[in-house]
Structure formats: C-alpha cells, structure tokens
C-alpha cells in the first residue's frame, strides 16, 4: 500500500505542476531537472508519467514533450501478429500504429479498437496502447479440436496464427467432436486476466485427414458463403428463361458478327466475347459482355446475395460463385451457338492503338466458337496444321487480334504501364484434392490478347462515363508513397541500378524502366517484388483518381459481371443512362449507395484474395510433403532476421531458418538485403540462386522448411539463374 500511496503522491505533484499556467510542455530530462529528481530516482518519475498517460490526464507530443490533457484517441482495426504484438490499421492513413504485446488490451485480430499514441517519432514510427475494444471482428474461430484423455473439456487450436491463444471448450459444449476434428467454435468469452478465451462448437467440418476438410476449413475460416439460400436459387431459376422477342426488342442485333470467347479449358462462366474486323487502316474491335443485369434486378434477393459475396472465389479444388450456376453457367454464359443478351463496347482503333470512336450498346449476340487459350496459341504461335484446319474460317480473325494486341501493348508500354509478370500457380489435383503437379501458369499469346482487349474496353468505358459526369464505379490505384519509392531507389543502387524520383512526383514510367533493365537478371524477381511492395493496393471508388500501375487516367471494371459485383453495378448505371433513366432522382440514388458498394466490393475482394492465397499455400505444403529430402535449385526471394525464403521454379516458396544454418552464425543486414556469416564471411544475397533440400512441411501452418544443400549452394550469386517460369 505504501508504494501505491507514494506513486499517487508523485502523480499529484507532477499533475499540479503541469496544471500551472506558467507550465510549458517539456521533455523528460527537462522535467526531471526542474523537479530536482536525481538520476537514481528517474525510473520512478517515468512510472508516474506513464500512469498519468494511461489515465488520459497527460500525453506525449510528437516532439517528445509532456503536455496536460488527454491524448487524441484514434479508432482503427487491430491486426495481430503471431508473435504477440500487432498494429492498428487506420483507414485513411498510410502508416500503422505499433502495439506491443503488453498494450493489446485483450484485442483479437480484426477488432475495431480505440488506441492512444504513447510514442511518436516522425510520421511513420508510432506506438500505441489499445484502451477500448469498440467491436469484435472475430466471433467464430476455425481450428483443430483436442481433448485431453479422461477429461470432460477440450480446446480448439485456431487455424488463424494471429490468434495466439487456444479456445477453451467446457464440458457439454463440444457438439460430439473428437480429437482430430476440424471445427467451427463460437466465442462465448474473450478471456483476459489470465483466463483463456472460451467457446462452444457449432459445426464439425470433418476429420483433419478427410479429403476436402482442409479447403473447407479455409472457406469457413474466411466466412465465405457457400450454399445459396433457397429464395435466391428459386429466383435464379425463374430468371433463367430463354431469350424472348421482348428481351431482344430495341437492342442492336450482332448475331451475324463473327465472334468468339477465349478462356481456359475448365472455364464454365464465359462472360466476355470478342470480335474484330478491319475498316481501312482502322480496327473495329468489339468487346461483348454478358448482360447479367437483365436477370439480376437491383435489390432483389439475387442482387442482395451477390452484393454480400462481392466476387466469385477461385480455390484450388472448387469455385464459390457470386451467382448461382443456373445463371453463371447458363443463361448469362456466352455459350457457343446460342443467342445471348450482351452489353457491347465497340471501338474504332487506329494503327497507333488510339480509340478514335466508340459505341456502348445493348446487344443480342451469338458466339461462333468457344475457344481456349491453348487452341489459339497452337494457331498463332505453333502454326499447328491440325488446329488451323479445324478453325480455318476463324484464323484470319485471330491473326488480326494478335496484330492489334501487339499495337495496344506497345502503346501501354510507351505511356509507362507497369507489367508485373509474376507467374501464377497452376495446380493439378486428383479426385481427392491431392496435388499431383504444381507449375507456373502459362500466360500465353491468347491470354495476353484477351487481357489487352479487356483493358482497352475498361479504359474506354471509364473515360466515357467520367466525362458524362455521372455517378460511377472506378477501379483506382493511387500513386505510391514517395518515401517507399525513394527507399526502393536507394536499395537498387546495391545492384548498380538507378531510378529518378522527382520532388513530390512518382511516375509509373520510372518503375517500368527499372523492371525492363532488370529483365533476365538474377535479381529480376527480387526487384520486381520490392517494386510491387512499394505500391498501394488497387480498390474500387466512386471517385476517379486514375490507375498508377496501368498509367491510365481512367479505369473501371466492366468486363466480368458474372463474377464481380462492381461490374454488375456499372452495367446498371450504363443501362439506366442508355435508356434515358438517369434523371436527378436516379443520380442521387447512385450517389447515395456507391460509397458503400465500393467499400464492400474492395473488402470482399481482399477476403477472396487471402482465401485463395491460403489455399495455394496449403496445397504447396501438401505437394512438397511428397518431396522431403529431395534437393532443388531455387532463388533467394526474401531475407529476414529469422531466415531466408527460397522460391523454386514451380512457384513453391519455403524458409531456410537461420537456426538451421549450422555452419556459422548469420547476421541480417537490412540495408543491403544480405545475410552474412560472422566467422566464415559467407554471404547470401537476395536474387542469388541456391540449392536447398526439403526438410519438412506443416499443413496446419501451411509452411515449407528448407535446408541449404551443403556443397551445392552458389555463394557468388553471379551466374545467371534460368527462370523456368517465363
């Protein structure tokens, strides 16, 4: 009690001193000197000041001076780290607030919290303390159920590594789960004061070793909606009626235009078709998109479900669609040889790749052939006689497409569009979901043609509606922070590269030129990744701020309304405009709903991306389990103080833990992105090729561990690494 009274007295003296009208904010040393606190007793002064801070009576300014009054309380989202600390993410600010383990205030990953700044050094280095949890982001937790022998209670070990405590499941709350079951637990208590969080099991997904349980655990972990409500399915059935004369009335009839869809072999929802002809020196390019809004009426049960889902989610062994299959694979899919309703963007493009005229129209189309990327590649790249003979009447059109695609690509390059050509992962699974093969996805000539045409249509539509000054949904990508780009420019000097960064101006052309210089070098993948990390994330917005990565002043997503809600929303706006319904009342309606629509679309897109990423990591770990002990050549793709990441040509990435580098003690030099041996002087650099042995995998953590294959690592990193993914 004596210590408490002493602390209380100290706090009263300090606070009275600060309340004096003559007090000016001062630093810790100045306070100590003025209050005549000896060096031996300064820890006690610091303790008193910290206590006053936590009570909100005083706060520490940006300049490190103690001021009277409550510190500014900031609201944000807590993102936990599996090592105990975390960050508070602020929606409108670039820098996060660091939260040490002792200052988390019992917050879970995803909670909305109120935080007080406790330390500040410049704009980017801030530390804080969570003082209030406003709302919980985690209500249900997916994990592995474990029950101790002869006990009446159990625990759920969370799949989410950011939730560092196990969940206590009391007697009678296990729903019959047994050891090894993957379950969904609903939290009934968040713990605190030495007590574990507590919950009850509401769903048993399946045994950890059962086929499909692993992916379904990810689906449940990200709260992805799987089954459609019966009302939605019934509405989809009623909407999916054949096209009538009334449906086609007033539409532009393009049924006799030669056009195709070009997609992957396993694609079922074909929402874009393309056509092309020559008109003198110009190309007439048609991008024809399924008119999904004809079947999904605003605010219907179908529409509300699509809005909630936001996007289709493509996992390793399944697709979770935004719309029921009756629509997405049926009447809304531009299937070969059947009439379909479409929204078409028909562009006149000159020989320089500039759109000189365009028309956006409601149309009726009939696709001639359903083509695959592989078939078109065989025709254009491999000159395959059998394939050419099979599609003889379409070959001139494909040649014209390749010609225009090259023009459009060169034009984008000239203006500075950045192409991060990272290989996507393609997985071949057996009927039980086991990975048989993992390899880079072939981004061939046909895929690039479709990409180029969709980009042009998206830009053309966005510019049209920007100048009409109507409410719209834009796909935006903001200019990266100057500080991050300057840090990249400093780092690349280590490799002999330079990059011009203007004052208050970062140009996409400079990033593009850097990537061009590094193409084919050992450090290409590394510098591309660092450049990508310096970028902001693209998002949907009702305001047009341009697209930095594409070096485009106007950009939107118009081309995939079957699988993306923003595209569906854009089609509604376009059709209201084309039909003369965009009156003041309708304009106000869209102005009111679009901020929330774009926010929801951006959030569901992030959720889908994270789920897809986790699925790929899971299957990679499962695949490499069959290759333990084998040696592979890879490239060092990342360095941290806990080890180095190595990526193999098949896109698999694993970690060589620093504790397993037994030949020496290695220190990480962050400024040079190097790991150097203290005794041997051996240096490992980013971008260096190296031989590694697969040491182990963890399907639960979705991680792969490598070891350096002794005697086979190349220490100089000078030889050119042949990237088989290109």
Residue 611: is its pLDDT beyond 60?
Answer: yes
Instruction: Give Dmax (Cα) for the chain.
Output: 96
Q: Cβ of 408: how many Cβ atoms within 10 Å?
A: 24
- The pLDDT of 129-148, averaged and rounded, is 90
Q: Please list the residues that pair with 116 across neighbouring strands.
A: 73, 129
The pLDDT of residue 121: 64
Greater pLDDT, 132 or 719 = 132
In the chain, pLDDT over 70 holds for what percent of residues? 95
Lookup: tokens for 245? 């004369």
The pLDDT of residue 710: 67
Residue 566: is its pLDDT beyond 80?
Answer: yes
Residue 640: is its pLDDT beyond 70?
Answer: yes
Greater pLDDT, 35 or 617 = 617
DSSP string, 106-120: TPPTT-EEEEEEEEE
Give the CATH fold of the 140-210 domain: OB fold (Dihydrolipoamide Acetyltransferase, E2P) (2.40.50)
What pTM, to 2 d.p., does this model score? 0.83
Greater pLDDT, 635 or 324 = 324
- Counts of helices then strands in the chain (DSSP H, E): 17, 33
| Residues making up the chain, counted from first to last | 726
Rounded-to-integer distance, Cα 386 and Cα 113, Å:
63
Tens of pLDDT, residues 465-505: 999 999 999 999 998 888 888 888 888 887 788 888 877 77
Rounded (5°) CA angle 522-535-563: 105
- The pLDDT of 131-158, averaged and rounded, is 90
The pLDDT of residue 683: 87
The pLDDT of residue 1: 39
DSSP string, 187-205: EEE--BTTBPPEEEEEEEE
The pLDDT of residue 287: 98
Residue 221: is its pLDDT beyond 50?
Answer: yes
pLDDT, mean over the chain: 89
Residue 714: is its pLDDT beyond 50?
Answer: no
The pLDDT of residue 726: 27
- The pLDDT of 191-217, averaged and rounded, is 90
- The pLDDT of 604-615, averaged and rounded, is 94
Identical fold between 73-135 and 140-210: yes
Lookup: tokens for 309? 């889902």
Lookup: tokens for 609? 């991306």
- The pLDDT of 42-64, averaged and rounded, is 80
Greater pLDDT, 23 or 142 = 142
The pLDDT of residue 123: 52
Residue 449: is its pLDDT beyond 80?
Answer: yes
Residue 724: is its pLDDT beyond 80?
Answer: no
The pLDDT of residue 30: 87
Tell me the CA distances in angstroms from 624 to 309, 540, 618, 632, one per residue in order.
Answer: 33, 37, 10, 11
- Domain 2-68 class, CATH top level: mainly alpha
In the chain, pLDDT over 90 holds for what percent of residues? 56
Distance separating the N- and C-terminal Cα atoms of the chain: 71
The pLDDT of residue 717: 33
Band (pLDDT 50/70/90 cuts) for residue 716 is very low
CATH superfamily for 628-708 is Nucleic acid-binding proteins (2.40.50.140)
The pLDDT of residue 713: 42
Greater pLDDT, 64 or 407 = 407
Dihedral (CA of 325, 327, 332, 337) sign: positive
**Cβ neighbours for 202, distance < 8 A, ≥ 6 positions apart:** 140, 175, 184, 185, 186
Least confident of 95-99, 178-182, 583-587: 95-99
Domain ranges of the chain: 2-68, 73-135, 140-210, 230-477+541-613, 482-535, 628-708
Band (pLDDT 50/70/90 cuts) for residue 725 is very low
- The pLDDT of 442-449, averaged and rounded, is 91
Residue 309: is its pLDDT beyond 70?
Answer: yes
Least confident of 188-202, 219-233, 357-371, 618-632: 188-202
Rounded (5°) CA angle 253-335-232: 100
Helix (H) or strand (E) holding 273: strand 272-279
Rg of the chain on CA atoms, in Å: 29
CATH 1.10.569.10 holds for 73-135 = no
Tell me the CA distances in angstroms from 433 to 181, 264, 439, one per residue in order.
Answer: 18, 20, 16
Greater pLDDT, 284 or 192 = 284
The pLDDT of residue 58: 82
Residue 60: is its pLDDT beyond 70?
Answer: yes
Which 3-state string (H, E, C) describes 613-639? Answer: HHHHHHHHHHHHHHHCCCEEEEEEEEE
Rounded-to-integer distance, Cα 704 and Cα 293, Å:
45
The pLDDT of residue 62: 63
The pLDDT of residue 711: 59
Residue 363: is its pLDDT beyond 70?
Answer: yes
The pLDDT of residue 92: 67
Greater pLDDT, 222 or 441 = 222
């Amino acid at each position: 009690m004596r210590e408490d009274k002493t602390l209380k007295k100290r706090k009263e003296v300090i606070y009275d001193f600060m309340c004096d009208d003559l007090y000016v904010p001062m630093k810790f040393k100045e306070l100590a000197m003025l209050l005549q606190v000896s060096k031996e007793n300064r820890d006690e002064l610091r303790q008193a000041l910290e206590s006053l801070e936590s009570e909100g009576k005083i706060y520490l300014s940006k300049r490190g001076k103690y001021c009277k009054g409550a510190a500014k309380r900031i609201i944000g989202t807590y993102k936990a780290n599996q090592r105990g600390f975390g960050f508070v993410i602020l929606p409108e600010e670039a820098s996060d607030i660091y939260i040490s383990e002792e200052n988390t205030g019992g917050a879970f990953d995803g909670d909305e919290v109120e935080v007080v700044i406790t330390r500040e050094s410049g704009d980017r280095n801030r530390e804080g303390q969570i003082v209030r949890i406003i709302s919980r982001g985690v209500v249900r937790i997916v994990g592995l159920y474990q029950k101790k022998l002869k006990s009446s209670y159990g625990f759920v070990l969370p799949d989410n590594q950011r939730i560092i405590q196990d969940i206590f499941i009391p007697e009678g709350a296990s729903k019959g789960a047994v050891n090894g079951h993957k379950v969904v637990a609903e939290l009934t208590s968040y713990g605190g004061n030495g007590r574990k969080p507590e919950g009850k099991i509401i769903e048993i997904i399946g045994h950890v070793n059962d086929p499909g349980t692993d992916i379904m655990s990810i689906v449940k972990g990200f709260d992805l909606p799987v089954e459609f409500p019966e009302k939605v399915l019934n509405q989809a059935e009623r909407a999916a009626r054949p096209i009538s004369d009334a449906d086609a009335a007033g539409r532009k009839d393009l049924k006799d235009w030669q056009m195709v869809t070009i997609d992957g072999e396993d694609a079922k929802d074909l929402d874009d078709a393309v056509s092309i002809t020559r008109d003198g020196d110009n190309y007439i390019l048609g991008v024809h998109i399924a008119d999904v809004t004809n079947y999904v009426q605003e605010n219907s049960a179908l529409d509300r479900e699509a809005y909630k889902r936001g996007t289709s989610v493509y996992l390793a062994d399944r697709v979770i669609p935004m719309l029921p299959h009756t629509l997405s694979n049926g009447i809304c899919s531009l299937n070969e040889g059947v009439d379909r309703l479409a929204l078409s963007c028909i562009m006149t493009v000159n020989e320089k790749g500039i759109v000189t005229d365009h028309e956006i129209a409601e149309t009726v189309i009939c696709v001639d052939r359903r083509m695959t990327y592989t078939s078109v590649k065989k025709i254009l790249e491999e000159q395959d006689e059998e394939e050419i003979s099979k599609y003889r009447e379409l070959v001139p059109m494909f040649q014209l497409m390749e010609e225009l695609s090259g023009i459009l690509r060169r034009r984008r390059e000239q203006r500075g569009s950045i192409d991060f050509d990272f290989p996507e992962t393609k997985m071949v699974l057996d009927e039980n979901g086991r990975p048989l093969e993992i390899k880079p996805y072939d981004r061939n000539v046909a895929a690039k043609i479709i990409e180029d045409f969709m980009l042009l249509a998206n830009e053309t539509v966005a510019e049209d509606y920007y100048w009409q000054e109507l409410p719209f949904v834009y796909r935006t990508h903001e200019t990266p922070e100057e500080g991050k780009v300057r840090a990249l420019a400093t780092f690349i000097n280590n490799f002999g590269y330079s990059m011009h960064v203007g004052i208050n101006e970062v140009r996409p052309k400079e990033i593009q030129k850097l990537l061009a210089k590094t193409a084919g070098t050992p450090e290409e993948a590394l510098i591309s990744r660092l450049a990508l990390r310096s970028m902001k994330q693209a998002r949907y917005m009702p305001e047009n701020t341009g697209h930095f990565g594409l070096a485009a002043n106007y950009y939107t997503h118009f081309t995939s309304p079957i699988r993306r809600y923003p595209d569906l929303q854009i089609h509604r706006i376009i059709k209201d405009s084309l039909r003369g319904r965009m009156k003041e009342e309708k304009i106000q309606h869209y102005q009111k709903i679009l901020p929330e629509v774009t926010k929801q679309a951006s959030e569901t897109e992030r959720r889908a991306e994270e789920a897809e990423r986790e699925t790929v990591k899971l299957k990679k770990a499962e695949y490499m389990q069959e290759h333990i002990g084998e040696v592979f050549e890879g490239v060092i793709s990342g360095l941290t103080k806990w080890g180095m990441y190595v990526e193999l040509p098949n896109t698999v990435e694993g970690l060589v833990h620093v504790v397993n580098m037994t030949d020496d003690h290695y220190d990480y030099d962050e400024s040079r992105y190097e790991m150097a041996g203290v005794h041997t002087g051996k240096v490992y650099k980013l971008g260096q090729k190296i031989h590694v042995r697969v040491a182990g995998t963890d399907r639960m953590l979705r991680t792969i561990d490598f070891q350096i294959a002794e005697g086979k690592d190349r220490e100089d990193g000078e030889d050119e690494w042949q990237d088989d993914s290109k």
